[in-house]
């Protein structure tokens, strides 16, 4: 990793925003992010608030990588993306999908702690009805099931012709076991948290615990680090995001653009879940894809959606602590 720029250089351009969401997602109604402007353009530092400084420092490394160094050569100019369906009622599914025009794939959130399997089945059924038989459906449990719950849920959802099941269980060992138990069903298992929140992001591939990997630039420390993981893992990948602003999504698109083989639609259409963004031209899907290219933050929008003084101070202090972690590596 490159030596981080001086903290004062980062603080000089740091802007903290609080963007409202269209639909409650991942337990939040507002997405906070810290934006920085480097020599290469705007970049983003937006680890979720519950992450500690060591984990969050990888997100800062990614922000510095994207803002201070040129992006790798691109092999495509646009990225096909999936729609993302939060844990909404079935009656709300059509309205959510309408925010993702042209998307042929939907990722459906399941296994929410305040919901049951029947609600998940009803939501996925509504997505299948909306997409038709040609649409692709993947479900994401965010490690919300144990092995037996996952096996039962995959059986219950199999009738909807799933493209894959993302992170059904928490640990690498559990993923390997559920993959073994459900192999006869032919539904691939994808790993997300077991890659981006692991001490060793390659462990899941080494254990044969997944058929494909969900790769996110920020949690892995940047585009170059993510490309190293992809190359060493030797598995198909889906490039995704973590509810970023369009600046962060552009980082993800730059990663996806430089992956040699991209067989799956990517999870980079989540600007459609934001009720506001930091640019007048947000990276929302058009004909099921987003373009590759840097996003310029709009000063007017940065001001309009600036976080409160208290939250801004919290993020700037966090930036300083994470900078210290990187400096001492």
Are 229 and 159 in a shared domain?
Answer: yes
Count structural domains, the chain: 2
Q: Which of 123, 128, 216, 318 is catalytic?
A: 216
**CA-wise closest residue to 164 among 226, 215, 106:** 106
292 within 8 A of 78, measured Cβ to Cβ: yes
Are 106 and 142 in a shared domain?
Answer: yes
- How far is C-alpha 208 from the geometric centre of its chain's CA atoms? 23
Torsion of Cα atoms, 169 then 267 then 263 then 95, to 10°: 100
Rounded CA gap, 328 and 118, in Å?
49
- How many Cβ atoms from other residues are within 10 Å of residue 102's Cβ? 13
Q: Within the chain, how many helices (H) and strands (E) appear?
A: 12, 12
pLDDT tens for each residue of 184-209: 999 999 999 999 888 888 999 999 99
54 within 8 A of 72, measured Cβ to Cβ: no
216 is catalytic: yes
Q: What is the pTM of this model?
A: 0.96
Q: At residue 25, does pLDDT exceed 70?
A: yes
Average pLDDT over residues 8-28: 93
Tokens for 293? 């290219």
What does the pLDDT read at residue 193? 92
Percent of the chain past pLDDT 90, that is, above it, reads: 95
Rounded CA gap, 232 and 204, in Å?
12
Residue 2 lies in a domain: no
Are 215 and 275 in a shared domain?
Answer: yes
pLDDT tens for each residue of 257-286: 999 999 999 999 999 999 999 999 999 999
What does the pLDDT read at residue 27? 83
Q: Which of 31, 99, 109, 196 is catalytic?
A: 109
Q: At residue 319, does pLDDT exceed 80?
A: yes
9: annotated binding-site residue?
no
Tokens for 148? 């037996």
What does the pLDDT read at residue 252? 98
Are 83 and 123 in a shared domain?
Answer: yes
Are 61 and 138 in a shared domain?
Answer: no
Are 192 and 241 in a shared domain?
Answer: yes
Residue 172 lies in a domain: yes
What does the pLDDT read at residue 2? 74
Are 85 and 189 in a shared domain?
Answer: yes
125 exposed, middle or buried (CB, 10 Å; 0-12, 13-18, 19+)?
A: middle
pLDDT tens for each residue of 119-171: 999 999 999 999 999 999 999 999 999 999 999 999 999 999 999 999 999 99
Radius of gyration over every alpha carbon of the chain, rounded to an integer in angstroms: 19
Rounded CA gap, 39 and 32, in Å?
23
Q: At residue 1, does pLDDT exceed 80?
A: no
325 within 8 A of 59, measured Cβ to Cβ: no
159: annotated binding-site residue?
no
CB environment 283-301: b (16+ within 10 A), e (fewer): bbbeebbbebbbbbbeeeb
Are 213 and 277 in a shared domain?
Answer: yes
14 exposed, middle or buried (CB, 10 Å; 0-12, 13-18, 19+)?
A: middle
Are 200 and 156 in a shared domain?
Answer: yes
Strands (E), the chain: 15-25, 28-38, 41-45, 78-80, 83-85, 105-109, 136-140, 162-166, 189-191, 212-216, 237-240, 289-291
Instruction: Give the bridge partners for 290, in sequence order.
Output: 79
Tokens for 143? 């490690």
53: annotated binding-site residue?
no
Are 229 and 108 in a shared domain?
Answer: yes
Mean pLDDT for the chain overall? 96
Domain range holding 41? Answer: 7-71+299-327
Tokens for 299? 């000063």
**CA-wise closest residue to 212 among 236, 195, 233, 231:** 236
107 is catalytic: no
- How far is C-alpha 251 from the geometric centre of its chain's CA atoms? 11
Residue 1 lies in a domain: no
Are 39 and 129 in a shared domain?
Answer: no
């Amino acid at each position: 990793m490159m030596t981080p720029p001086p903290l004062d250089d980062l603080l000089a351009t740091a802007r903290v925003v609080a963007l409202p969401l269209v639909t409650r997602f991942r337990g939040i109604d507002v997405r906070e992010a810290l934006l920085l402007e480097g020599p290469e353009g705007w970049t983003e530092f937006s680890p979720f608030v519950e992450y500690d400084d060591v984990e969050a420092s990888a997100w800062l490394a990614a922000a510095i990588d994207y803002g201070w160094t040129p992006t790798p050569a691109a092999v495509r100019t646009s990225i096909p993306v999936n729609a993302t369906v939060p844990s909404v009622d079935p009656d709300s599914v059509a309205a959510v999908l309408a925010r993702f025009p042209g998307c042929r794939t939907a990722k459906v959130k399941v296994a929410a702690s305040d919901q049951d399997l029947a609600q998940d089945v009803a939501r996925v059924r509504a997505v299948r009805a909306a997409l038709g038989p040609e649409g692709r459906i993947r479900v994401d449990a965010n490690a919300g099931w144990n092995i037996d719950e996952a096996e039962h849920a995959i059986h219950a959802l199999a009738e909807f012709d799933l493209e894959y099941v993302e992170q059904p269980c928490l640990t690498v060992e559990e993923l390997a076991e559920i993959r073994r138990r459900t192999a006869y069903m032919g539904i691939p298992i994808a790993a997300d948290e077991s890659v981006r929140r692991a001490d060793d992001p390659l462990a899941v591939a080494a254990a044969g615990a997944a058929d494909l990997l969900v790769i996110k630039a920020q949690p892995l420390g940047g585009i170059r680090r993510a490309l190293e993981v992809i190359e060493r893992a030797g598995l198909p990948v889906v490039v995704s995001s973590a509810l970023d602003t369009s600046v962060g999504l552009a980082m993800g698109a730059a990663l996806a653009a430089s992956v040699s083989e991209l067989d799956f639609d990517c999870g980079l259409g989540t600007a459609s879940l934001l009720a506001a963004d930091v640019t007048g031209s947000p990276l929302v899907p058009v004909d099921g894809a987003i373009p590759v290219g840097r996003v310029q933050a709009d000063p007017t929008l940065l001001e309009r959606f600036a976080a409160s003084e208290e939250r801004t101070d919290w993020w700037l202090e966090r930036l300083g602590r994470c900078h210290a972690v990187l400096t001492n590596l």
